[in-house]
Structures are given as C-alpha cells and as structure tokens.
Structure 1
Amino acid sequence: MSKQLESILQRQDEYVPKSARVSYIPISFVRGKGAKLYDCDGNEYIDFLASASSANIGHGNEEIAQAVYGQMTELSQYISAYFPSGPMIDLAEKVSRMTGRPDMMVSFSCTGSASIDGAIKYARGYTGRPKIVSFSESYHGSTYGAISVSKLTNSMRRKIGPLLPECETFNYPVCLRCQYHQAPENCALDCLEQIRYAFRHYLPADEVAAFLVEPIAGDAGLIVPPARFFQDLAALCRENGILLISDEINQGVGRTGRMFAMDNFGVECDLYVLGKSFGGGLPLGAVVGRREVMESLESPAHAFTMSGNAACCTASLKMLEIMERENLFEEAFQKGVYLRERFLKMQEEFPVIGEVRGIGLNIGVDLVTDRKTMEKNYPAAAKISYYCMKHGLLLTFVGQSSLRVQPPLVITREELDQAVEIIHAALTAYTAGELSDSILEKIQGW
C-alpha cells in the first residue's frame, strides 16, 4: 500500500464514521474517463460498477462539464421552490414527455432516498390510506422513510427506531430460489397469492396506499422477476384502488435499454422514482407521476431548498441529450445481450455459476456451491471480486453471491472483452483453488 493511500485511509478512519461506509478493498479514485477509472497510485481499472449505477453516462464527460460550468458561472442555484428556473422546468418537461403519457408531472429532490420519501407522501396523500407495501431484500435508500420500506439488512435498522409505521412486507419473486418450491414452467405465482391471502385475512386492501417495488431487485442480487408477476400485481392494484410505485433509482435512465426499467415488463405505474444516474454525475432525484396524484398534496409538502437546482438540472438535461444523440439506450440493451452470452458460455465451463440474469447492462452472475441446491456461494463472490479488482477490473457483488455487472453505458466492446477475460481468469483461479481464504478478511461488501 502506498503512503498516499495509507494517508487517505487513516484520515477516513479519523473523520468519516463507519456508518457512512461499505467496505470492499482500499482503493481511492482520483480520475475517470468513459468506462475507465484511475486511482491515487495511477492504476487503471475498467469500471463494472458505474459508481453503484450512478454513472450511466460514464466519467469525465466534457460536454456535461462545460454545460455545468456555463450554468455555474451564471447561477448555480436559487431556491426553485420559490422561484422556478429554466433548467428545472426544461427537465421536468423533458422527463414528462419521455414517459409517453400526457398527464405526468415531476417533483425534484436531491437524492433518490428523498424521492422515495416523496413517493410515500404522495401515495398516502392521494389515497388517504396509511399502509405502504414493499418486498423482501429490497433497498430503497437511507432516509427514514426509505429505510422503513427497505428490507435488505439489519445493520441499517438497528438502534434507530421507531421507523415509519404501517410498512408491510411480502416476498419478492426470486425464481432461482423460490420460497414456494415451484419451477418456472409450472409456477402459479404463489408470491402473488400470499398478497391475496393477506387481503382476505389480515391486511385490508382498502388501507393500502401503494406497493413500492424494484423492477429488478438490485442489492438483492439483480433479480429479474417474470413479467406476469408485475402485470398481475398491477391488475391487483387497479382492482383495489392501490397505487403502484416503481423504484427506478438503480435500474432507470437507460440501464436496461429503457428510460424506466418497468417498461420492459409492459406495465405502467402511477409513480416512478429516479435518482443515482439521473443527475448526470450530480446529486438529483425525482418523483415522476400522474398529475392527480402529484397534485394531491398542498404546498410545501415536498419542497427542498436545493432540489431541482439549475446546475444539477443542466447536467441531467445534457446527459439525456447525449444519450438520445448517441443512442445509448439501445446500445445498453445490445451490449447487455452480448455480455450475457459471454457469461452463459462461462456458465458451461464453470459449475460455480448457477445463473446469469439481467436486462441491458444490468447483469447478475449468481455464484453457487452446488447447482442442485443453488446455495449461495459468498466466498466465491468475494474472492472473485477481489481478484478482479487486483487485476484492473472494478467488480463487486450483491445479495451475498451475485457478481454485480453494471458498467457505464458508454463502455466499448473492447473494454467488455477485456473485462470478461479478467473474470474468466478469476473463475479459473478460483476453480483451481488458487484464491486463499485470507481474501475473505480483506473484502466485505454488503
């Protein structure tokens, strides 16, 4: 470890609490360009994390930098809740039109987490009902409302209660490890039947304001449910006057080839929540929803001093312009098809790969101890991620056993091939027993 990195880590321990960190391995990045990153010691990495899916446009984009610089020299921000700015209105109109629906409005915040809180407010305000339903192993953010509906890890929830009341939970459809012991070919969607049962016996449907769901469960392992689950869930919501909210913070803004990942399942939602990559590299979140829902609250029920500020909205507008001009949504989808094919070939070679799943540049490679039991293989995920990071590929894991493959949408085919070669080498080393258990002391993750 270099003296420079050692100094950074020491000062981090001194000034930044562990509650604000998730440890992988010690790297400090200082520069990025496209899908490449460079650390404080000059080492180069291919980025397969895209800053936790917040850098869909990649790094060091000069057009965005120039647009933001120009706006900053004019007016970086002035409270848009009091006095609307041009970039905020332009972005609201742009996003509304991108939905393809005539009745959509946009409410801005500074983060995805705050926008989750906003979606909860709008759902309760519109329906007059208290209960919000989310799903097991979901992650929706770190504000109090977002933590209350997140069901991923106890460490987020310890010592901070009471949390938001009236939050219910049901099982997310994880077909690889179906809790109802069904195979996909004869699945009766018992994961939906559990909700119907609850409505009949202990959870009055007319007290439920909304279902909040990730179209792809990111931190649970990039789980992709069958389309009919979402279609039937949407129908169940319509039957009972319940709103359907799609958390697009992780999978939205082109990552699956669509602006909204839920569009891949043929479902229209009442509210969509954006964050992470939405700001084009700057902090920006939004709730996008039906006019009558969005107009259900009085001023200033969801207003923030810095939300929708001119600099962040300018970055977002320029990012969306670039994405459309360079056809990055379609590029993401096609690159995802190519990448999944490469992983499926590796699955034939390496028994440790239990499943390859995903849409677009949003792929989970699930590692298992045995393909019959599909038991999660945390040691394999940790060791392979560590090997990759030590060999120039920034790769992490989620859901204890799934390699998280979410590169910037601007990544090239050549970079994809280089990354796959590193992963192949890591799998080869793991299979040969060359990756020491001591690695498990050096890498943690969620």
Structure 2
Amino acid sequence: MNKKFANVQTELPGPKAKKLLDRRHDVVPQGVGYGVPTFVEKAKGALLQDVDGNHFIDLAGAIGCINVGHSHDTIVSALHDQVDRYIHTGFNVMMYDPYIDFAEKLATLAPGYSKKKVMFLNSGAEAVENAVKIARKYTKRQAVVSFSGGFHGRTLMTMSLTGKVRPFKYEYGPFAPEVYHAPYPYNYRRPESMNEEEYTDYLLEQVESFFISEVDPSQVAAFIMEPVQGESGFIIPSKKFVQGIYEICKQHGILFIADEIQTGFGRTGKYFGMEHYDVEPDLTAISKSMAAGLPISGVIGREEVMDSAKPGELGGTYCGSPLGCRAGLAVLEVMEKENINDRADIIGKKVMERFKNMYDRFDVIGEYRGLGAMCALELVKDRDSKEPAKELTGQVLKEAHKRGVIVLKAGVHDNVVRLLMPLVITDEQLEEALNILEESIEAVLVGVNG
C-alpha cells in the first residue's frame, strides 16, 4: 500500500525514543502504563509525529480527549489569548467570566427541557465523585448503583463504581460502602436461548429482583450509567433498556446519572450520547473531549438537584480553570462551525462499512459494533465459542503501531479493538488508517497460522 500519512522508518522505539524510554523507566513507576513505546514531538489534526520522525495516524485521540483534533487553530488561539490575560485566580476566590460563558452554553446544550446548572472540576473521576455527592445530598440517601462492566475512574469511589476488576481494582480494596452493581446488557454475549428483546426484559426484571436481594430502592440515591460502555469494549445498550432503567429510577425517586465522559462532545454523533435514548438525566458527568486535551471536567444537572449543596460544599483549587473554560468554549465553536456531530456520523458509517468487509474476511472478528464514531471490533478465537482472543488483540495493536496507526484495545476480556479517532480526520487519512488496520490483522493471522 502506498502510504501518505503513516510512515514508521525505524523499529519502535527509535533511538531517541529508546533513550527517553530508559529515562522513563528509571523515574516513572510501572503502574503508569503506556500503549506505544515512543514519544510525541508534534501533533496536528489526526496526525502525530514522534521524536524519531515517525508519522502516525491517530485512531486513539488520547483515549477520546481529542474529538476536534490535535492543536486546532481555534483552541490554540483561545489559549494564547487567555494566557496573556491571566492563568488562574481560583473561581472560589476571584471569579472569571469564561466559567460563566462555558456553563451557560453547556446548560443550553444538555438533553431535556428543565433548567440546568453547571459546575466545573478537573477530571472525569472527580466529575463522577461530585455527581454522587450531589445525588446523596439531594435525596438524603446513601446507596449508589452502577453496572457490571462499567468504568467510572480510579479514585476510591469511582473504582468502587467500576465493574471490571483488572487492572483497575485488583488489590486496591477495601472499596467505598453502599455501592452496588446491576447487570448490564452485553448483547453479543447474551444467552443463545433469548432474542435481544427477551434479554432486555430479563435484565430489567433482574434489576427489580436486585431491589429485593441487594438494596431497597428507598435507600438508593442514584443509578449511574454510560450511554455506551467505553472501557468494556463499546457495549451499546438498547433504547428499551436505558429507558427502562430511567423509568425504574423515576418510580422510586432515584436520580439518573449519565457518565458522558467518553461519549460526550460529538463522539456518538450528538453532543451527548444520552440523546440517542430520549432520556433527560438528572445529572451528567463530562470531561475528556470537552476542552481538546485541557484538564477540565464538569457536572450538569437539574437546577433543584444542583442547588441542594450549600456554599462551600462543592469545588476545589483548580476546578474550572480559565484555560480549560476558554478551551471548552473554543471546542463548542469548532463543533458548530465544522458540523462535528454530522462528521461523526459520516465517519461511523465509513468505519462500519469497512468493519463489515473485515468481518467477512477474518473469522477472528466475532462482532463489529458502533454508535456514531464510537466503533469497535471484538476478536475471538472462533465465532462458535466466542472465546476472547486477548493475545491476538495485543498483537494486532502492536502490528498497527509498527505500521503507523495508533489504536487502542478495550473490553472486559481485553479483546476489543476500539477507535476514538479525532473527528476532524480526513476521508483520505481514515481510509489509509483502516487499510493499515486490516493489513495488521492479516499479517498477525499469517504469522499465527504460518
């Protein structure tokens, strides 16, 4: 294949990256992992260049942080302007208008028609923590229910909410009390005796039984759900399931928290993933692509819920930094001007068409799935047993990296190839990246079978 954008000239890591990698291992603990054994020098749009001059097409987007692309001119300009004015004063000391401007826009964009209020924080985990705090304050209840397979962060509370043990929870307990896990629909791995609708009905019945065996609904402050489970391999629930959980919450006076940290800001073809399900969350946690790589997060919620906390009970030193707010405003400007939501739908259709072709070629692909530009391949040892192909998945990623495409894995069984490309990726760049991904699968299979 004649490659125009991806060009790896040396075996990874190259000589400069190797020196940096040695220094990294000397000073950074091994618990801080990495996917690609090299170091970035430049990044623009959907393209990366490392310190050894190798060029990559980015299908990872900093794990979904770069929906509007690396170093977009609009964001860079906004940041330069803000740095020239002031960097930080602490919103809880002397306030600044970018916080208000950004909050107003997000309150308008959030799903539903009720009046919203917005607060800003630093990270996705911190957004989830505060959503839980607010839910408990408003309901005067303590229990929180998340879902098996969900990922909500690495702090004590968010680890407790997370429904995957390794590598996030193993040997890090004890965990926060009054956290429960309900079953979540994994349609590809549903019982063969059930069709999708029967499976959904069964899981919703299990939630009702859960209230008998695990926790009484009168004690539950909130359910928290990802519109699409990210770390678990882009597991997409049915609209019936999401609406069913939402109705259960309303029936029992339980708040519904949407974790939109990975699904937000255009990834699924809408500003928020929950828009696909026609529900209005009581609280929404946001982060990642909201500021094009700047560390900021937030909670959006119904006014009466958000105002349940008293002055001084919420906040933090760096929460809603001026730089993050200015970057966030610039992201919304780019999304509107460049029709990023529509572009995500176009990208998703192109990817799913190619994934179908790969599925027809390679028996190791058990399923391909996606919502908007949140697309994934699940790799298995064979389609009948659906046994996860974890090692094969790792080999495919490594081969793709060697050929100049940055791609990530995910999944409860670490057997899912997931795409989180910047949504400004061009058709030409996307086609080349998908060609390389397909060639990488073929090369690995030839090596395995040869």
- How would you bin the TM-score normalised by the shorter chain? over 0.9
AA matched with 1:433: G
How many angstroms does 1:82 deviate by? 2.8
Q: Contact (CA 8 Å) 1:389, 1:395: kept in 2 or not? A: yes
**1:45 corresponding residue in structure 2:** 56
Partners of 1:153 and 1:357 in 2: CA distance: 24
SS in 2 for 1:88: helix
Q: Contact (CA 8 Å) 1:176, 1:374: kept in 2 or not? A: no
AA matched with 1:49: A
Q: Describe the superposition over 1:213-242 as per-residue Cα deviations: whole angstroms up to 9, x where unpaired.
A: 111110101111111100111001000000
- Structure-2 change in CA distance of 1:295 and 1:134 (3 Å): same
Q: Describe the superposition over 1:397-436 as per-residue Cα deviations: whole angstroms up to 9, x where unpaired.
A: 1111110111001011111110111112112223323589
- Structure-2 change in CA distance of 1:185 and 1:165 (3 Å): closer
TM-score by length of 1: 0.94
SS in 2 for 1:18: coil
Q: Contact (CA 8 Å) 2:232, 2:410: kept in 1 or not? A: yes
**1:15 corresponding residue in structure 2:** 27
**1:250 corresponding residue in structure 2:** 262
**1:311 corresponding residue in structure 2:** 323
Partners of 1:124 and 1:435 in 2: CA distance: 55
Partners of 1:12 and 1:202 in 2: CA distance: 45
Q: Describe the superposition over 1:121-176 as per-residue Cα deviations: whole angstroms up to 9, x where unpaired.
A: 00100101110101112111122221121122344334443322100012221011
Moved more, 144-153 or 309-318: 144-153
How many angstroms does 1:392 deviate by? 0.7
How many angstroms does 1:86 deviate by? 0.6
Partners of 1:154 and 1:432 in 2: CA distance: 30
Partners of 1:202 and 1:71 in 2: CA distance: 50
**1:439 corresponding residue in structure 2:** none
SS in 2 for 1:281: coil
Q: Contact (CA 8 Å) 2:118, 2:299: kept in 1 or not? A: yes
Residue 294 of structure 1, aligned match among 278, 286, 306: 306
SS in 1 for 2:173: coil
Residue 422 of structure 1, aligned match among 428, 433, 436: 436
Q: Contact (CA 8 Å) 2:68, 2:331: kept in 1 or not? A: yes
Residue 65 of structure 2, aligned match among 54, 57, 60: 54
Unaligned runs of 5+ in 2: 1-12
- Structure-2 change in CA distance of 1:435 and 1:122 (3 Å): farther
**1:89 corresponding residue in structure 2:** 100
Residues 1:404 and 2:412 aligned together: no
Partners of 1:431 and 1:390 in 2: CA distance: 16
Residue 37 of structure 2, aligned match among 2, 10, 26: 26
Residues 1:140 and 2:157 aligned together: no
Q: CA RMSD in A?
A: 1.6
Residues 1:110 and 2:122 aligned together: yes
Residue 347 of structure 1, aligned match among 359, 364, 368: 359
Q: Describe the superposition over 1:282-302 as per-residue Cα deviations: whole angstroms up to 9, x where unpaired.
A: 100000010111011112222
Q: Describe the superposition over 1:75-110 as per-residue Cα deviations: whole angstroms up to 9, x where unpaired.
A: 111111233211000000000011253411101101
Moved more, 222-231 or 181-190: 181-190
Q: Aligned pairs, how many? A: 435
Residue 206 of structure 2, aligned match among 194, 216, 230: 194
Q: Contact (CA 8 Å) 1:383, 1:435: kept in 2 or not? A: no
Residues 1:80 and 2:94 aligned together: no
AA matched with 1:320: L
Partners of 1:110 and 1:435 in 2: CA distance: 47
How many angstroms does 1:311 deviate by? 1.3
Q: Contact (CA 8 Å) 1:111, 1:284: kept in 2 or not? A: yes
AA matched with 2:87: S
Residues 1:6 and 2:18 aligned together: yes
Q: Contact (CA 8 Å) 1:106, 1:288: kept in 2 or not? A: yes
Partners of 2:116 and 2:294 in 1: CA distance: 24
Q: Contact (CA 8 Å) 1:137, 1:153: kept in 2 or not? A: no
How many angstroms does 1:243 deviate by? 0.6
Residue 131 of structure 1, aligned match among 143, 163, 179: 143
Partners of 1:144 and 1:180 in 2: CA distance: 37
Q: Describe the superposition over 1:16-68 as per-residue Cα deviations: whole angstroms up to 9, x where unpaired.
A: 1122x223341211211100011111101110100000111111212211111
Q: Contact (CA 8 Å) 2:380, 2:386: kept in 1 or not? A: yes
Moved more, 77-86 or 131-140: 77-86
AA matched with 1:15: V
Residue 281 of structure 2, aligned match among 257, 260, 269: 269
Q: Contact (CA 8 Å) 1:113, 1:146: kept in 2 or not? A: yes
AA matched with 1:294: M
Partners of 1:185 and 1:144 in 2: CA distance: 35
Partners of 1:180 and 1:434 in 2: CA distance: 30
SS in 2 for 1:340: helix
Unaligned runs of 5+ in 1: 437-446
Partners of 1:331 and 1:273 in 2: CA distance: 24
